[in-house]
Amino acid sequence: MSETLSFIRNMIVDPRRVGAIAPSGRALAELITSEVEPRHAPVLEIGPGTGVFTRALLARGLQQSDLILVEFGAEFAAALRRAFPGATVLHADASRMRRRAPFDALPRCGAAVSGLPILSMGSRRQMRIMEGAFALMRPGAAFYQFTYGPVCPIPRAILQRLGLKAERIAGTLMNLPPASVYRIRKAQPH
Protein backbone atom coordinates (compact mmCIF):
# COMPACT_ATOMS: atom_id res chain seq x y z
CA MET A 1 0.00 0.00 0.00
CA SER A 2 2.77 2.45 0.89
CA GLU A 3 4.32 1.79 -2.56
CA THR A 4 1.05 2.67 -4.28
CA LEU A 5 0.80 5.86 -2.20
CA SER A 6 4.38 6.77 -3.06
CA PHE A 7 3.56 6.19 -6.75
CA ILE A 8 0.44 8.39 -6.59
CA ARG A 9 2.36 11.14 -4.75
CA ASN A 10 5.07 11.10 -7.44
CA MET A 11 2.40 11.10 -10.15
CA ILE A 12 0.79 14.22 -8.66
CA VAL A 13 4.13 16.03 -8.29
CA ASP A 14 5.57 15.05 -11.70
CA PRO A 15 2.95 13.46 -14.00
CA ARG A 16 5.11 13.62 -17.14
CA ARG A 17 7.97 11.71 -15.51
CA VAL A 18 5.76 9.04 -13.94
CA GLY A 19 3.32 8.69 -16.83
CA ALA A 20 0.96 6.12 -15.25
CA ILE A 21 -1.85 6.17 -12.73
CA ALA A 22 -0.59 3.17 -10.72
CA PRO A 23 2.34 0.77 -10.60
CA SER A 24 2.16 -2.00 -13.20
CA GLY A 25 0.33 -5.17 -12.21
CA ARG A 26 1.88 -8.61 -11.72
CA ALA A 27 0.68 -9.91 -15.10
CA LEU A 28 2.52 -7.13 -16.97
CA ALA A 29 5.61 -7.59 -14.77
CA GLU A 30 5.66 -11.32 -15.58
CA LEU A 31 5.14 -10.63 -19.29
CA ILE A 32 7.84 -7.98 -19.70
CA THR A 33 10.40 -10.16 -17.89
CA SER A 34 9.28 -13.47 -19.44
CA GLU A 35 12.28 -13.83 -21.81
CA VAL A 36 14.94 -12.61 -19.35
CA GLU A 37 17.13 -15.30 -17.79
CA PRO A 38 20.12 -15.41 -15.44
CA ARG A 39 22.44 -15.85 -18.47
CA HIS A 40 21.50 -12.27 -19.49
CA ALA A 41 23.12 -10.80 -16.37
CA PRO A 42 23.80 -8.03 -15.77
CA VAL A 43 20.33 -6.74 -16.67
CA LEU A 44 19.55 -3.04 -17.07
CA GLU A 45 16.20 -1.85 -15.74
CA ILE A 46 15.20 1.71 -16.63
CA GLY A 47 12.42 3.49 -14.75
CA PRO A 48 11.83 0.83 -12.09
CA GLY A 49 9.61 3.09 -9.95
CA THR A 50 8.51 1.04 -6.93
CA GLY A 51 10.27 -2.10 -8.23
CA VAL A 52 7.41 -4.18 -9.68
CA PHE A 53 9.51 -5.38 -12.64
CA THR A 54 12.59 -5.68 -10.39
CA ARG A 55 10.79 -8.24 -8.23
CA ALA A 56 9.69 -10.15 -11.34
CA LEU A 57 13.34 -10.26 -12.51
CA LEU A 58 14.39 -11.69 -9.13
CA ALA A 59 11.59 -14.27 -9.37
CA ARG A 60 13.13 -15.37 -12.71
CA GLY A 61 16.34 -16.34 -10.94
CA LEU A 62 18.40 -13.17 -11.28
CA GLN A 63 20.26 -12.01 -8.18
CA GLN A 64 20.08 -8.45 -6.87
CA SER A 65 23.76 -8.10 -7.78
CA ASP A 66 22.81 -8.86 -11.42
CA LEU A 67 20.62 -5.75 -11.64
CA ILE A 68 21.45 -2.17 -12.68
CA LEU A 69 18.47 0.07 -11.87
CA VAL A 70 18.32 3.56 -13.42
CA GLU A 71 15.66 5.73 -11.81
CA PHE A 72 15.23 9.52 -12.13
CA GLY A 73 12.80 9.98 -9.23
CA ALA A 74 14.71 10.70 -5.98
CA GLU A 75 12.07 9.13 -3.73
CA PHE A 76 11.87 5.99 -5.90
CA ALA A 77 15.67 5.70 -6.12
CA ALA A 78 16.03 5.92 -2.32
CA ALA A 79 13.30 3.30 -1.79
CA LEU A 80 14.89 1.00 -4.40
CA ARG A 81 18.24 1.22 -2.54
CA ARG A 82 16.49 0.16 0.67
CA ALA A 83 14.49 -2.65 -0.96
CA PHE A 84 17.31 -4.03 -3.14
CA PRO A 85 20.57 -3.30 -1.27
CA GLY A 86 22.53 -5.70 -3.48
CA ALA A 87 21.54 -4.02 -6.75
CA THR A 88 23.34 -1.12 -8.43
CA VAL A 89 20.85 1.75 -8.15
CA LEU A 90 21.68 4.86 -10.18
CA HIS A 91 19.65 7.97 -9.41
CA ALA A 92 20.03 9.33 -12.92
CA ASP A 93 18.31 10.42 -16.12
CA ALA A 94 18.20 7.53 -18.59
CA SER A 95 18.52 9.97 -21.48
CA ARG A 96 22.12 10.61 -20.36
CA MET A 97 23.35 7.02 -20.59
CA ARG A 98 25.51 7.54 -23.68
CA ARG A 99 29.22 7.77 -22.82
CA ARG A 100 28.75 9.62 -19.53
CA ALA A 101 29.70 8.84 -15.95
CA PRO A 102 28.53 6.76 -14.14
CA PHE A 103 27.23 4.79 -17.13
CA ASP A 104 30.57 4.56 -18.97
CA ALA A 105 31.96 2.35 -16.17
CA LEU A 106 29.15 -0.23 -16.26
CA PRO A 107 29.57 -3.80 -17.55
CA ARG A 108 27.68 -4.63 -20.79
CA CYS A 109 24.16 -5.94 -20.16
CA GLY A 110 22.47 -8.97 -21.73
CA ALA A 111 18.95 -7.45 -21.66
CA ALA A 112 17.14 -4.24 -20.75
CA VAL A 113 13.65 -3.85 -19.28
CA SER A 114 12.05 -0.43 -19.49
CA GLY A 115 9.20 0.96 -17.44
CA LEU A 116 9.76 4.42 -18.93
CA PRO A 117 6.74 6.48 -20.05
CA ILE A 118 8.19 6.64 -23.58
CA LEU A 119 5.01 8.07 -25.11
CA SER A 120 5.13 11.16 -22.90
CA MET A 121 8.68 11.97 -24.06
CA GLY A 122 9.84 13.99 -27.06
CA SER A 123 11.61 12.24 -29.91
CA ARG A 124 15.09 13.63 -29.02
CA ARG A 125 14.84 12.17 -25.54
CA GLN A 126 13.49 8.86 -26.91
CA MET A 127 16.42 8.74 -29.33
CA ARG A 128 18.99 9.41 -26.58
CA ILE A 129 17.48 6.71 -24.36
CA MET A 130 17.51 4.04 -27.08
CA GLU A 131 21.02 5.00 -28.23
CA GLY A 132 22.29 4.95 -24.63
CA ALA A 133 20.63 1.65 -23.75
CA PHE A 134 22.01 -0.15 -26.81
CA ALA A 135 25.49 1.28 -26.11
CA LEU A 136 25.30 -0.45 -22.70
CA MET A 137 24.12 -3.78 -24.09
CA ARG A 138 25.93 -6.76 -25.54
CA PRO A 139 25.49 -7.67 -29.23
CA GLY A 140 22.16 -9.48 -29.75
CA ALA A 141 20.68 -8.24 -26.46
CA ALA A 142 17.00 -7.28 -26.38
CA PHE A 143 15.30 -4.20 -24.92
CA TYR A 144 11.77 -4.79 -23.58
CA GLN A 145 9.31 -1.88 -23.49
CA PHE A 146 5.65 -1.86 -22.56
CA THR A 147 2.98 0.47 -23.89
CA TYR A 148 -0.68 1.24 -23.35
CA GLY A 149 -0.93 2.24 -27.03
CA PRO A 150 -1.82 0.18 -30.13
CA VAL A 151 1.66 0.25 -31.75
CA CYS A 152 5.32 0.16 -30.73
CA PRO A 153 5.94 3.33 -28.67
CA ILE A 154 9.39 3.89 -30.20
CA PRO A 155 8.79 5.83 -33.43
CA ARG A 156 9.69 4.05 -36.67
CA ALA A 157 12.17 6.83 -37.61
CA ILE A 158 14.19 6.17 -34.43
CA LEU A 159 14.14 2.41 -34.96
CA GLN A 160 15.38 2.88 -38.54
CA ARG A 161 18.06 5.40 -37.60
CA LEU A 162 19.49 3.06 -34.96
CA GLY A 163 19.07 -0.10 -37.07
CA LEU A 164 16.55 -1.62 -34.64
CA LYS A 165 13.63 -3.99 -35.18
CA ALA A 166 10.59 -4.13 -32.84
CA GLU A 167 8.28 -7.11 -32.36
CA ARG A 168 5.22 -7.26 -30.12
CA ILE A 169 5.66 -10.30 -27.91
CA ALA A 170 2.19 -10.26 -26.29
CA GLY A 171 -0.35 -8.16 -24.44
CA THR A 172 -2.22 -8.44 -21.17
CA LEU A 173 -5.73 -7.29 -20.28
CA MET A 174 -4.87 -7.93 -16.62
CA ASN A 175 -3.32 -4.50 -16.16
CA LEU A 176 -4.80 -1.05 -15.60
CA PRO A 177 -4.80 0.01 -18.40
CA PRO A 178 -4.23 -3.08 -20.60
CA ALA A 179 -0.71 -3.12 -22.03
CA SER A 180 1.49 -4.72 -24.69
CA VAL A 181 5.18 -5.56 -24.59
CA TYR A 182 7.64 -5.04 -27.45
CA ARG A 183 11.02 -6.72 -27.89
CA ILE A 184 13.47 -4.38 -29.63
CA ARG A 185 16.75 -5.66 -31.06
CA LYS A 186 19.42 -4.66 -33.55
CA ALA A 187 18.19 -5.77 -36.98
CA GLN A 188 20.27 -8.56 -38.57
CA PRO A 189 22.10 -7.40 -41.72
CA HIS A 190 20.65 -9.09 -44.85
Ligand X SMILES: C[S@@+](CC[C@H](N)C(=O)[O-])C[C@H]1O[C@@H](n2cnc3c(N)ncnc32)[C@H](O)[C@@H]1O
Nearer to ligand X, 76 or 164 (CB): 76
Count, residues near ligand X per rule CB under 6 A? 23
Reported in sequence order, the residue ranges of 6-136 that DSSP labels E, i.e. its strands, are 43-46, 67-71, 88-91, 109-114
Binding residues among 18-57 for ligand X as defined by CB under 6 A: 18-20, 23-24, 46-49, 52-53
Nearer to ligand X, 37 or 93 (CB): 93
Q: What is the spatial distance between Cα 5 and Cα 130, in angstroms, rounded to a whole number?
A: 30
Binding residues among 77-96 for ligand X as defined by CB under 6 A: 93-95
β-sheet bridge partners, residue 154: none
* Contact between residue 42 and residue 67 where contact means Cβ atoms under 8 Å apart: yes
Q: Diameter of the chain by CA atoms?
A: 50
137-147 vs 179-186, strand pairing mode: antiparallel
Q: Mask 129-168, x = binds ligand X (CB under 6 A)?
A: ----------------------------------------
Name the residues that contact ligand X, by CB under 6 A: 17-20, 23-24, 46-49, 52-53, 70-73, 76, 93-95, 115-117
